[in-house]
Structure 1
């Protein structure tokens, strides 16, 4: 995978603040757990949070 600094970027919009300094990309790892319904999703989310995991709720 190429480094983000080597990927060509589109031109900035007029009036923009410019290109950010350095590489702001932070490597992350995640797991997606499919729940059968909303109550199960809520229970899984709350259990994972209690265990100290950083969680996000996603609906598709």
Structure 2
């Protein structure tokens, strides 16, 4: 078990919806690739999609 799962969290505020129930979340794994510029980002995205990967474009 990761150490972060052993950290005590503060109580939720009174009006919060509470902890999600069921299987709302699933484990995911990802890789961030830094592109030189927007055309390179587009080319990487298209290449990875063509290989069957599930991709998202992010600009920061």
* TM-score bracket for the superposition, by shorter chain length: 0.5 to 0.7
Q: 1:29 and 1:18 mapped to 2: Cα distance?
A: 26
2:38 corresponds to 1:54: no
**Structure having greater relative contact order (Cα 8 Å, sep ≥ 6):** 1
Instruction: Give ranges in structure 1 of 5+ residues lacking alignment.
Output: 10-16
How far the C-alpha of 1:20 sits from its partner, in A, is: 4.6
Measured on the aligned residues, the alpha-carbon RMSD in Å equals 2.5
After TM superposition, the score normalised by the length of structure 2 is: 0.66
Aligned counterpart, 2:30: 30
Deviations 1:7-50 (A, max 9, x none): x99xxxxxxx8865313110000000000000000000000000
Matched residue pairs, number? 59
Task: Name stretches of at least 5 consecutive residues in structure 2 with no aligned partner.
Answer: 10-16
Superposition misfits of 4+ residues, deviation over 4 angstroms: 17-20
